[in-house]
Amino acid sequence: MIANNLARDIGPCPKSDETRYGHGVVPIDTRKIEIDELVSHKERMDWKSLREDLKEYGIRNSTVMALMPAETSAQISNSTNGIEPPRSLVSIKQSKHGVLKQVVPGIHKLKSKYELLWDQESPEGYLKIMAVLQKYIDQGISVNTSYNPEHFEDNKIPMSEMIKDTVTAYKFGLKQLYYFNTFDGSGEITDEATHHSYEGESEVYDDDDCESCKI
């Protein structure tokens, strides 16, 4: 671990011995044991030596890992929104700074490979993937739940479904739930040029310009 090597070379951060790292405890040691139901636990790297080095030298940074939604940064880098499935192949993001069209990377070759957010009938699979990632990450992942009412009877999302997903997130060790997203059907755009190329696969939505979603 780089932060441990830095602590060895130039010293640990203040109160390193008050962190879990300072006691040789790494994120996989504090995982919810239920996560092993999804992926069997096996230490493939030399975690034992790292634990001993952490106890001896400490750590230079009290936290070392984070996964950001990258909502705004994705526009600049022309990437998908970090760990989030894309909402559509072509979207128009509106914010206080203006309007920006965005196309998913490699659309001509990878169009059929993308699993779009609103095509998912449930966030359960996404939540389980995030839980496996959280096992290795010391900061809480900003995990969203997203629902398309079109997948439910009378276009109404049952409270039981939302409670079930909340319990699933807790069971497998997710540290927080961030945005609760619902698709209201108002995202289809009428821009002629965009529809000419990717009809029915475009969406307009507001970019909240959240500071935590920027690199």
Report pLDDT for 146.
Answer: 94
Average pLDDT for the chain = 85
- pLDDT tens profile 136-178: 999 999 899 999 999 999 999 999 999 999 999 999 999 999 8
Q: Does 5 have pLDDT greater than 70?
A: yes
| Residue with token string 């319990």 | 167
Using CA atoms, how far residue 144 sits from 20, 123, 180, 213, in Å, is 27, 9, 6, 13
What does DSSP say about strands 98-103 and 90-95: parallel, antiparallel, or unpaired? antiparallel
CB 83 within 8 A of CB 133: yes
Alpha helices, DSSP H, located in the chain: 2-10, 47-57, 73-77, 107-110, 124-134, 159-171, 192-198
Give the neighbor-by-neighbor strand order of the sheet with 98-103: 98-103, 90-95, 202-206
Q: What is the CA radius of gyration of the chain?
A: 21
Q: Which of 58-67, 68-77, 131-140, 153-162 has the lowest mean pLDDT?
A: 68-77
What's the sign of the alpha-carbon dihedral 155, 157, 161, 165? positive
For residues 84 and 57, give the distance between their C-alpha atoms in angstroms, rounded to a whole number: 37
Q: CA–CA distance from 128 to each of 38, 53, 131, 166 (Å)?
A: 8, 31, 5, 12
Q: Range with the lowest mean pLDDT among 12-21, 67-76, 158-167?
A: 67-76
pLDDT of residue 194: 42
What pLDDT was estimated at residue 59?
Answer: 96
Phi and psi at residue 167, to the nearest 5°: -65, -40
Whole-angstrom distance, CA of residue 189 vs CA of residue 39: 41
Q: What is the mean pLDDT of residues 39-47?
A: 94
Does residue 67 or residue 206 have the better pLDDT? 67
- The better pLDDT of the pair 90, 9 is held by 9
